[in-house]
């Protein structure tokens, strides 16, 4: 490996190991390292898709990642990398209120160095950065049961990962092509940004899209990166010509595994879900056929289409069942909120809006919520939250509501209703009925689409 000598040491971990920030010169060696660490164990295939992803992140500027926030643990005695993580800094929205997010990604330790606490060290560092930088929330889309030990809990829905055979899609016949997909150009970036941000209304939580981020998502990733996708613009059409743009499709054709992917579909106006979804699906079939033809390999053909959209996405009202049925279960994002009272203060306008539209609009009083052993007391005057008090301890009998460990997080982020949290955890509580209803009002269950989180 052609490694750069360490120049930005963060901590000496002993045993010849140092933790340091990466430099641009690390890009190729880090790509090689990740291709080994994330190797597909069963087939022995090196993870070239992660290699290209980390090379993108480290070799050139990225809208939400500073090169100093790519962490490397290096064995300086042996001259090799031991472990790595990147920490992306993003802005997301909670029902219209922006908040700052820290997002660890590409977390990996070489087999020779596992179970020695190297990832724990990197998470300690990232959590320090989070508090120094005022990041309200950290999120990880990661392997099962690993991140709870670092203070995370599953609290936001991941992609549905629903699969359908492409043979169930409708196909163009002789009818006029009233909507057509065209390729994206750089001039489309403001349009795509606008459409994505407008679609955030459908989500409790979502990333805020900025034009430089959308440009990066659309044009700046290596085509073999694990997170690379294409974007097409759905336009009105008279059959041959492209008219006004009315929607966007984010998709990928992974011909090596015969898989098409629909990551995201959005329309400029709700009417187009009914009018344009059938045409969109027919156009997708043609994209898949083109990918198959371009592969020029008799063994390869796009056969299945994975979808990342949430089950309540409007496309599922107008697909005539072409896309299949929603899955029974769905994976989730791990979320950490180091200071819940501070986060509640930030989203107070949203909570007050929910209260104002409810039976509790004139409520004056307080609500005591026990989170593990600590407590939060919300004080209300005529439906307004006038104080959020953080108490270092609260007795369980004193609380109106009780959420053990981090079980409040899925409620806070709309993934689980109060009822579901109470059913799942016998030691949780929300009583009396009036307070339980107030909690349900403030924290309704609602879906979130995080499918285009910028990494
Ligand atoms: C998962 C992985 C990142 C862990 O790295 P690591 O450096 O061994 O992690 P740490 O030693 O810091 O882990 C902290 C603790 O979790 C334990 N642990 C390690 N792997 C674990 C796993 N898969 N599940 C649960 N606990 C695990 C460790 O033993 C350690 O326990 P301790 O604090 O009681 O000693 C590493 O095994 C890896 O790179 N795997 C392949 C790539 C991958 O799956 N990455 C994660 C993508 S989200």
Give 222-257 as a DSSP string: -TTSTT--EEEEEEEESSSSEEEEEEEEEEEEEGGG
Last residue of a domain, one of 140, 174, 192: 140
- Same-domain status, 124 and 15: yes
Instruction: Identify whether residues 90 and 220 lie together within a single domain.
Output: no
Q: For ligand 1, pick from 13, 106, 143, 152 the residue to mutate: most ligand atoms within 8 Å of CB.
A: 143
Please give all residues whose beta carbon lies within 6 A of any atom in ligand 1, as ranges.
37-38, 83, 107-109, 114-120, 142-143, 145-146, 149
Q: With contact defined as beta carbons under 8 Å apart, do 406 and 153 qualify?
A: yes
User: Maximum Cα–Cα distance for the chain, whole Å?
Assistant: 71
From 30, 117, 154, mutation site for ligand 1 pocket: most ligand atoms within 8 A of C-beta? 117
Q: Does the residue 176 lie in any domain?
A: yes
Residue 90 located in a structural domain: yes
Provide the pLDDT for residue 283: 98
Q: Report yes or no on whether pTM surpasses 0.85.
A: yes
Final residue in a domain of this structure, among 140, 171, 191: 140
Distances (CA, A) of 169 to 164, 266, 322, 341: 9, 18, 5, 48
The parent domain of residue 377 ranges over 339-442
Over residues 432-454, the mean pLDDT reads 95
* Ligand 1, atom 43, residue with closest C-alpha: 108
Distance 118 CA to ligand 1 centre (A): 8
Burial annotation 395-422 (CB, 10 A radius, 16+ → b, else e)? eeeebbbbbbebbbbbbbbbbbbbeebb
Same domain membership, residue 345 and residue 230: no
In a domain, 153, yes or no: no
366-425: per-residue pLDDT in tens? 999 999 889 999 999 999 999 999 999 898 888 999 999 999 999 999 999 999 999 999
pLDDT for the residue numbered 2: 43
Atom number of ligand 1 nearest to Cα 142: 48
Of 153, 155, 103, which Cα lies nearest the Cα of 127? Answer: 103
- Asked whether 430 and 422 are in contact (CB, 8 A), the reply is yes
Q: Do 434 and 384 share a structural domain?
A: yes
Q: Do residues 238 and 347 both lie within one domain? A: no
Cα dihedral 118/57/125/373 (nearest 10): -100
| Average pLDDT score over residue span 42-53 | 95
Q: How far is the CA of 142 from the centre of ligand 1 (A)?
A: 11
CATH number of the domain where residue 105 is located:
3.40.630.30
Q: Which atom of ligand 1 is nearest to the CA of 141?
A: 48
Give the total number of structural domains in the chain: 3
- Would the pLDDT of 4 be above 80? no
Instruction: Indicate which CATH number applies to the domain containing 397.
Output: 3.30.1050.10
In a domain, 435, yes or no: yes
What is the distance in A from the centroid of ligand 1 to the CA of 346?
Answer: 33
Arithmetic mean of pLDDT, 131-147: 97
Look at residue 327 in the predicted model and tell me its pLDDT. Answer: 84
Helix axes 27-37, 48-59, angle to 10 degrees: 150
| Strand, coil or helix: 107 | strand
């Amino acid at each position: 490996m052609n490694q750069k000598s360490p120049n930005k040491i963060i901590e000496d971990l002993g045993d010849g190991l140092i933790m340091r920030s990466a430099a641009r010169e690390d890009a190729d060696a880090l790509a090689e390292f990740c291709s080994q660490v994330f190797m597909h164990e069963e087939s022995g295939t090196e993870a070239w898709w992660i290699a290209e992803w980390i090379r993108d992140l480290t070799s050139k500027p990225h809208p939400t990642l500073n090169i100093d926030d790519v962490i490397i643990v290096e064995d300086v005695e042996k001259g090799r990398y031991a472990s790595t993580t990147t920490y992306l800094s993003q802005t997301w929205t909670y029902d219209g209120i922006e908040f700052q997010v820290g997002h660890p990604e590409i977390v990996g330790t070489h087999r020779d160095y596992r179970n020695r606490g190297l990832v724990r060290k990197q998470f300690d560092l990232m959590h320090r950065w989070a508090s120094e930088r005022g990041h309200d929330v950290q999120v990880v889309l990661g392997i099962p049961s690993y991140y709870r030990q670092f203070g995370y809990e599953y609290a936001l829905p991941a992609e549905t990962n629903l699969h359908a055979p492409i043979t169930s899609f409708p196909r163009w016949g002789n009818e006029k092509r009233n909507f057509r997909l065209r390729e994206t150009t750089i001039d489309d970036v403001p349009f795509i940004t606008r459409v994505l941000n407008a679609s955030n209304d459908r989500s409790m939580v979502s990333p805020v899209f900025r034009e430089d981020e959308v440009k990066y998502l659309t044009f700046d990733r290596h085509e073999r990166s694990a997170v690379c996708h294409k974007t097409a613009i759905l336009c009105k059409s008279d059959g041959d010509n492209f008219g006004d743009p009315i929607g966007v499709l984010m998709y990928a054709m992974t011909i090596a595994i015969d898989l098409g992917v629909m990551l995201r579909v959005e329309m400029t106006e709700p009417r187009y879900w009914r009018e344009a979804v059938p045409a969109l699906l027919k156009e997708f079939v043609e994209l898949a056929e083109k990918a198959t033809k371009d592969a020029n390999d008799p063994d390869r053909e796009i056969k299945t289409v994975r979808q990342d959209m949430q089950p309540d996405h409007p496309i599922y009202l107008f697909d005539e069942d072409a896309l299949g049925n929603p899955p029974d279960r769905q994976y989730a994002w791990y979320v950490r909120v180091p200071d819940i009272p501070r986060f509640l203060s930030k989203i107070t306008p949203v909570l007050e809006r929910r209260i104002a539209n409810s039976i509790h609009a004139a409520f004056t009083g307080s609500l005591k919520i026990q989170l593990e052993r600590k407590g939060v007391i919300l004080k209300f005057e005529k439906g307004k939250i006038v104080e959020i008090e953080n108490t270092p301890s609260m007795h369980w009998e004193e609380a109106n509501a009780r959420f053990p460990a981090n079980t409040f997080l899925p409620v806070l982020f709309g993934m689980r209703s109060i009822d579901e949290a109470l059913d799942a955890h016998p030691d949780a509580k929300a009583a009396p009925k009036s307070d339980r209803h107030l909690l349900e009002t403030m924290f309704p269950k609602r879906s979130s689409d995080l499918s285009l989180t910028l990494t």
